[in-house]
Amino acid sequence: MTTWDDRTMLQKLQDPVQQQMAFRMLVEHFKEPLYWQIRRMVLSHDDADDILQNTFIKAWTGLPNFRGEAQISTWLFRIATNETLKFIERRKQLVSVDAEGAETIASRLQADPYFDGDETQQQLYAAISQLPEKQRQVFNMKYFDEMKYEEMSELLQTSVGALKASYHHAVKKISDYFHRLD
């Protein structure tokens, strides 16, 4: 299957004979975009990998309840987003992340052997890591994933206006961060 077709894939996922093969295809098709969506929120490769695995486990166990009212991609991104937010919330309960904590997150990113960005990218990630979670999530979806506000609205179950405001505030804070570096 060279092109992705939600309707055909959904039929295969619902067919007990083809289900495992179809799910492997689904994982192969979505693992990279889901990984990067998660990674931009948690910054750590290991954490992103764990959350991605949990996402696919949830998708597999939730497959019997998926009826195709939403696109498969929307369903998977919603699961990944929820798993990421749960992870962040658990981590927050263990450690309070303040501005100094954000710098620690950015330094962990620099030490990550899977990160090969230049200084400007490191500064961008440091700025992003200081954003509140909601703004960070909206910024990542819009800037990196080039998601339309309507898609984000469906995925995050919030209004387009609220998403635009979050993105605007995030861009302003990132811009201010870079101005302070100058």
**What is the residue type of 90?**
R
Burial class (CB in 10 A: 0-12, 13-18, 19+), 34: buried
> d(Cα 106, Cα 80) in Å, to the nearest integer?
22
Please provide the CATH number assigned to the domain covering 1-94.
1.10.1740.10
Rounded average pLDDT over 60-89 = 90
User: H or E segment at 89?
Assistant: helix 72-94
Residue 92 has pLDDT above 90, yes or no: no
Which residue ranges make up each domain of the chain? Answer: 1-94
On average, the pLDDT of the chain sits at 84
pLDDT at position 108 is 56
Residue 113's pLDDT band (cuts 50, 70, 90): low
Percent of the chain with pLDDT over 70: 84
pLDDT at position 123 is 82
Residue 179 has pLDDT above 90, yes or no: no
Q: How confident is the model over 32-54, as pLDDT tens digits? A: 999 999 998 888 899 999 999 99
173 contact partners, CB below 8 Å, separation of at least 6? 127, 130, 131, 135
